[in-house]
């Protein structure tokens, strides 16, 4: 069993020798095949069927499904919700990670747990909670009604729950990175006479830019795809409070499968784009990191 | 800053501003809504609360939600370890694409995943037809719910185990091999113990995510009360009947469970980080 690989470059062994720390070839093949089979079944096939069904009735039906007024309005509303929710959560993510990573205070672990809460809370519960505040019979429902301010079953409600659901994503990307980076660089900048904001813009921000970008992309994908929470608060009024995922549900329940998958394919494209950008950003971050390490070595 | 008070003086500015904004935002977006939920459920007397959260229909929904989530998380535990192992240790063409694709369930909207899985596993679907021929119902059954939850939780175990596996010192394995251990022994006694904290973290994350899942399950489950109705869906149907207190009571139960799981996950992650730091 224990065949030790001899590092002889010139002699090609008749039987492929195996390192003691590697598995036999058949096992490697078997494990790889099992893993790829599992991923094909659970990741690739769902993706393929979305595009397959979307084009099942041809380009004409596809284009009609994504350009009809109800679909166009749903797309617009989804974009609006993401455009408001993402910047709010970016500001929050920056503030929270600055406080958590650069300072010591008691209750920090609890604060991190609380920031993670929306990831663990069921989206239905998120929607329900906002309903209990802004809904007709909620805390502020009557006051809002008197002043003719619609929050539930209107755009503000959709934006609010989207913010709730997506708010940990930027902070989660930044906190571990900034904790690892420590605060020596910022302290050096301040000692050299930079102001607080200058330090933030010129020292902190450049060193976290890739993680920040990834957080934004992930937050955006989540914001555009949120279904459970939005479906509680939206009321699903066509051309008024329907987002893309809700529009998909309506089409699907009306047995308009080709149309439902056509709108889905747009969100699937967004997901693929998100993954592509993520890989690119990780690659860029690794490159920056390697370059920085090389510079340090030269010094 | 009240509760979150700074312990040590730092030269960096902006603690008051960033901490103030963080607590303000967190209160506005998370605390106020969630406390509204808790307060609403307190409107019920304790007996009524207990009655609402222990109706036969509610119990059936807990059984499905927790049972299917547990099975899905276990499947992800096994296959997540396998996928992480293959991605870290072996090379094959297209590995980078496969690695990127693992995150798909994070990026793909749940409603899209839901209708795609339903189309695949419906009795006339690409895969469902073979099960149908065998007399097994996949979509519109607890089996289908479990499949959706496997999809949703797939990245968690892979992404928690992968970095730990990458960090394991090859020298440890070489030492084990030179001391006469075979590959299986090396895996069981050297590699696996180092992976346990990250495996548990990934498992708990996948489980927590599955419990709250709504979007993908609602399409594939068929939503039959007592049989394929998950708890979030039961909350939804309470809401549609304008039974806000009942919905809030069920929501409170789920919220407490989620919070406890989250605390457990944080403790596990802490343990995992310590273990990882310790081996270096």
Which pTM was predicted? Answer: 0.88
Cβ of B212 within 8 Å of Cβ of A121? The answer is yes
In this complex, the residue of A39, A104, A276 whose CB is nearest that of residue B7 is: A104
Average pLDDT, chain A: 87
A residues 74-93 lying closer than 8 A (beta carbon) to B: 91-92
- Residue B246 exposed, middle or buried by CB count within 10 Å (0-12, 13-18, 19+): buried
Cβ of B104 within 8 Å of Cβ of A275? The answer is yes
Mean pLDDT of B46-53: 91
Residue B273 belongs to some domain of the structure: yes
Q: Whole-angstrom Cα distance, residue B259 to residue B41?
A: 17
Is residue B255 within 8 A of residue B37, CB to CB? The reply is: yes
Is some CB atom of chain B closer than 8 A to the CB atom of A187? yes
What ipTM is given for this predicted complex? 0.87
The full set of domain ranges for chain A reads 23-54, 57-298
Is residue A158 within 8 A of residue A83, CB to CB? The reply is: no
Q: Whole-angstrom Cα distance, residue A98 to residue B262?
A: 23
Which of the listed ranges A265-269, B125-129, B192-196 does the model predict with the highest average pLDDT?
A265-269
The residues pairing with A105 across neighbouring beta strands, listed in sequence order, are: B6
Q: How many CB pairs under 8 A join A and B?
A: 302
Name A246's Cβ contacts closer than 8 Å, sequence gap at least 6.
A74, A227, A230, A231, A234, A236, B111
Per-residue pLDDT, A1: 40
Dihedral (CA of B260, B148, B153, B170) sign = positive
**Minimum mean pLDDT among A11-25, A121-135, A270-284, B240-254: which range?**
A11-25
Per-residue pLDDT, A4: 47
Please tell me the total count of domains within chain B.
1
Cβ of B109 within 8 Å of Cβ of A225? The answer is yes
Is residue B23 within 8 A of residue A99, CB to CB? The reply is: no
Residue-range definition of the domain harbouring residue B161? 46-279
Residue B143 has pLDDT above 90, yes or no: yes
Is residue A150 within 8 A of residue A144, CB to CB? The reply is: yes
Per-residue pLDDT, B44: 87
Residue B55 belongs to some domain of the structure: yes
Cβ of A105 within 8 Å of Cβ of B102? The answer is no
Is residue B162 within 8 A of residue B87, CB to CB? The reply is: yes
Between A193 and A148, name the one with better pLDDT: A193
Q: Whole-angstrom Cα distance, residue A50 to residue A56?
A: 10
Mean pLDDT of B53-78: 95
CATH of the domain at B184: 1.10.3720.10
A residues 36-75 lying closer than 8 A (beta carbon) to B: 36, 38-39, 41-47, 49-50, 53
Q: Whole-angstrom Cα distance, residue B89 to residue A97?
A: 34
Mean pLDDT of A186-213: 90
- Residue B230 exposed, middle or buried by CB count within 10 Å (0-12, 13-18, 19+): buried
Cβ of A105 within 8 Å of Cβ of B154? The answer is no
Q: Whole-angstrom Cα distance, residue A134 to residue B55?
A: 28
Q: Which long-range contacts (C-beta less than 8 Å, at least 24 apart) are formed by A33-42? A: A34/B82, A35/B79, A35/B82, A35/B83, A35/B85, A35/B86, A35/B87, A36/B86, A36/B92, A36/B98, A38/B79, A38/B82, A38/B83, A39/B83, A39/B98, A39/B101, A39/B102, A41/B127, A42/B150, A42/B151, A42/B154
Dihedral (CA of A124, B205, B128, A36) sign = positive
pLDDT digits (tens, 9 = 90+) for B94-120: 999 999 999 999 999 999 999 999 999
Is some CB atom of chain B closer than 8 A to the CB atom of A32? yes
We find that the CATH architecture of domain A57-298 is Orthogonal Bundle (1.10)
Instruction: Give the E-state strand segments of chain A in sequence order.
Output: none
Residue B280 has pLDDT above 50, yes or no: no
Per-residue pLDDT, B169: 82
Residue B36 belongs to some domain of the structure: no
Q: What's CA B251's distance to the chain center, in Å?
A: 17
Residue B116 belongs to some domain of the structure: yes
Name A129's Cβ contacts closer than 8 Å, sequence gap at least 6.
B33, B34, B36, B37, B251
Q: What is the dihedral of CA B40, B46, B51, B57, to 10 degrees?
A: 40
Mean pLDDT of B62-79: 96
- How far is CA B72 from each of CA A135, A210, B144, B153, B229, rounded to the nearest angstrom? 35, 33, 11, 8, 16
Contacts of B233 in chain A (CB under 8 A): 124
């Amino acid at each position: 069993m224990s065949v030790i690989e001899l590092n002889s470059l010139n002699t090609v062994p008749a039987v492929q020798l195996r390192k003691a720390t590697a598995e036999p070839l058949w096992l490697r093949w078997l494990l790889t095949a099992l893993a790829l089979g599992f991923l094909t079944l659970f990741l690739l096939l769902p993706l393929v069927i979305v595009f397959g069904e979307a084009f099942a009735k041809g380009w004409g039906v596809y284009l009609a499904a994504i350009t009809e007024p109800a679909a166009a309005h749903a797309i617009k509303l989804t974009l609006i919700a993401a455009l408001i929710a993402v910047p709010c959560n970016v500001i929050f993510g920056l503030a929270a990670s600055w406080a958590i990573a650069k300072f010591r205070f008691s209750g920090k672990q609890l604060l991190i747990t609380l920031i993670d809460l929306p990831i663990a809370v069921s989206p239905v519960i998120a929607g329900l909670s906002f309903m209990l505040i802004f809904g007709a019979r909620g805390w502020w429902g009557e006051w809002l009604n008197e002043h003719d301010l619609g929050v539930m079953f209107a755009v503000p409600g959709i934006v609010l729950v989207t913010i709730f659901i997506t708010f940990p994503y930027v902070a989660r990307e930044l906190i571990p990175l900034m904790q690892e980076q420590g605060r020596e660089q910022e302290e050096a900048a301040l000692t050299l006479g930079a102001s607080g904001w200058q330090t933030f813009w010129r020292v902190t921000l450049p060193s976290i830019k890739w993680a920040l970008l990834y957080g934004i992309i992930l937050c955006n994908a989540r914001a555009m795809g949120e279904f459970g929470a939005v479906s509680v608060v939206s009321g699903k009024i066509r051309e008024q409070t329907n987002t893309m995922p809700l529009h998909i549900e309506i089409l699907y329940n009306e047995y308009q499968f080709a149309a439902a998958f056509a709108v889905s394919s747009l969100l699937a494209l967004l997901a693929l784009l998100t993954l592509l950008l993520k890989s690119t950003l990780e690659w860029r971050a690794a490159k920056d990191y390697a370059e920085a390490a090389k510079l340090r070595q030269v010094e | 800053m009240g509760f979150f008070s700074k312990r040590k003086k730092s030269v960096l500015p902006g603690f008051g501003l960033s901490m103030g904004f963080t607590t303000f935002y967190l209160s506005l977006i998370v605390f106020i809504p969630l406390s509204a939920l808790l307060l609403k459920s307190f409107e019920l007397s304790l007996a009524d609360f207990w009655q609402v959260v222990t109706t036969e229909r509610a119990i059936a929904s807990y059984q499905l939600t927790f049972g299917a989530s547990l099975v899905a998380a276990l499947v992800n535990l096994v296959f997540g370890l396998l996928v992480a192992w293959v991605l870290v240790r072996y090379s094959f063409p297209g590995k980078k694409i496969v690695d990127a694709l693992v995150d798909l369930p994070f990026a793909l909207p749940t409603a899209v995943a839901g209708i795609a899985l339903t189309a695949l596993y419906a009795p006339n679907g690409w895969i469902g037809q073979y099960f149908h021929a065998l007399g097994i119902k996949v979509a519109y059954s607890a089996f289908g719910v479990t499949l959706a939850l496997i999809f949703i939780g797939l990245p968690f175990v892979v992404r928690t185990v992968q970095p730990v596996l990458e960090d394991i010192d090859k020298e440890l394995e070489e030492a084990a091999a030179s001391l006469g251990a075979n590959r299986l022994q090396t895996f069981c006694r050297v590699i696996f113990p180092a992976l346990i904290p990250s495996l548990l973290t990934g498992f708990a994350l996948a489980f927590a995510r599955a419990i709250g899942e709504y979007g993908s399950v609602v399409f594939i489950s068929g939503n039959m009360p007592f049989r394929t109705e998950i708890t979030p869906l039961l909350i939804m149907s309470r809401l549609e009947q304008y039974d806000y207190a009942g919905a809030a009571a069920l929501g409170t139960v789920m919220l407490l469970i989620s919070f406890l799981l989250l605390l457990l996950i944080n403790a596990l992650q802490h343990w995992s980080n310590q273990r990882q730091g310790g081996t270096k």
